[in-house]
Amino acid sequence: MKQQTKLIQAGRGKKWTGQAVNPPVVRASTITFDSMAELAHASQHKGDRVPYYGRRGTATHFAFQEAICELEGGAGCALYPCGAAAVSGALLSFLQHGDHLLMVDTVYEPTRALCEKILRPMGVETEYYDPMIGAGIERLLRPNTKAIFLESPGSLTMEVQDVPAICNIARAKGVITLLDNTWASPILCRPFELGVDISIQAATKYIVGHSDVMLGTASANEQYWPQLREHSYILGYCASADDVYQASRGLRTLGVRLAQHQQNALKIASWIEQRPEVEAVRHPAFASNPGHEFFVRDFSGSNGLFSFVLRQGGAKAVAAFVEGMQYFKMGFSWGGYESLISPTLNVQKLRTASQWPYSGPLIRLHIGLEDPEDLIADLEQAFSRFKAALLA
Ligand SMILES: *Cc1c(COP(=O)(O)O)cnc(C)c1O
């Protein structure tokens, strides 16, 4: 089955949908049983998409979990109220006092905050590594290294990691690998084929796709699924049936949306690259992007998210750029149908184990589904405001 067909079929077996096209929204805390035997059966199979208690999910959740497994390739998928909860839930399901965690230096900022503010006081030591380390990760392994956390491409700066090189070494040493796979969504790369043990999605982004629901997933291979499932359940992570329904719905158009995001973003990134004010474009599909060769090898395409670095400019000039946009809205998150803009003045401040090569400000864009000509006109005016502010 081709991927676009899989996106339409996944999680839509009659078992979940009945005679309808979509699985229904089944809201429940209590699940009721008619007999001791039924209760015993549910208790034995409570991790296998058999209704047991609301926190373990209903048919709405089971259909979506099945779909994510089919798309990403995991043995099972746990659901969380947001992407940040999926990150914390997956890490807390495996880490204990005394463990050493290797964390990519370009990780999503709240994940770094989790390591520093929650894990470190609990006795888990996080050591950050250069995103381009590849097989060099071996030098950082210690006897107590429990897990390696990857995010590829890196948040904001888009370095693409050599995921298989890192996972090969980790697997040989019995170290768990977790990948924040949000940028790729469940369809632009196959994390389990690259050797990853646990793949995390902020479903909030492209899966939901409409900037109106928060949801997270963590999928695991056969080896780690039982512990991920049980420990996340014990920690109390769950998601509402209404939100999961919206995510299921988002999956059906994920392929066509991503194709359009990709096309629009490539067009706009190429236009930006020609601008004299721009020092560099960070887009994984561009040959100049660190790890581009791994992108070509491991990904089937790109999306609407990329960044660029201006040659110069302080807070005032950057404000002139990002304020007064007609279509690009300023705000966090990405993956919806709309365009977003987000400035970062000091990238180096966000990392400790690698050198950021530029001194100018960085601007991250999420390119939505608007007509790219309109978006380019919007950016053209932003560059004019920026230039005027530099001269003022
Ligand atoms: C947004 C994001 C998250 C967190 O997701 P939320 O649903 O906002 O909690 C985690 N990782 C990455 C890479 C993200 O972009």
E strand segments, the chain = 76-80, 100-104, 125-129, 145-151, 176-180, 198-202, 216-220, 278-282, 305-310, 329-330, 340-344, 362-366
Q: Which two tokens stand for residue 133?
A: 């380390």
- For residue 251, the 8-state DSSP code is H
| Residue 168 shares a structural domain with residue 156 | yes
Query: Tell me, what's the pLDDT at 46?
Result: 80
- Residue 326 structural domain: 253-391
Is 173 assigned a catalytic role?
no
Query: Tell me, what's the pLDDT at 48?
Result: 82
Whole-number Å distance, alpha carbon 182 to ligand 1 midpoint, is 7
Is 311 assigned a catalytic role?
no
Low-confidence spans in the chain with pLDDT less than 70 = none
| Amino acid found at 122 | M
Residue where one domain finishes, among candidates 193, 223, 250: 250
Residue where one domain finishes, among candidates 250, 274, 292: 250
| Residue 341 shares a structural domain with residue 221 | no
| Residue 231 shares a structural domain with residue 302 | no
pLDDT, tens digit, for every residue of 305-330? 999 999 999 999 999 999 999 999 99
| Residue 341 shares a structural domain with residue 369 | yes
Going by alpha carbons, the residue nearest to atom 2 of ligand 1 is 202
Query: Tell me, what's the pLDDT at 134?
Result: 98
Query: Tell me, what's the pLDDT at 232?
Result: 97
Looking at the whole model, is its pTM more than 0.85?
yes
Query: Tell me, what's the pLDDT at 96?
Result: 98
CATH code, domain with 260: 3.90.1150.10
HSE of 34 in the Cβ direction (CA atoms, 13 Å)? 0
Is 316 assigned a catalytic role?
no
Is 205 assigned a catalytic role?
yes
Q: Are 204 and 214 in contact (CB under 8 A)?
A: yes
| Residue 263 shares a structural domain with residue 151 | no
Number of domains in the chain: 2
Residue where one domain finishes, among candidates 250, 278, 302: 250
Regarding the beta carbon of 187 and ligand 1, being less than 6 Å apart is answered no
What number of other Cβ atoms are within 10 A of residue 175's Cβ? 21
The pairing of strands 100-104 and 145-151 is parallel
Of 190, 134, 186, 198, which Cα lies nearest the Cα of 160? Answer: 134
pLDDT, tens digit, for every residue of 44-62? 998 789 999 999 999 999 9
| Residue 177 shares a structural domain with residue 300 | no
Q: Please give the number of the atom of ligand 1 that sits closest to the Cα of 216.
A: 7
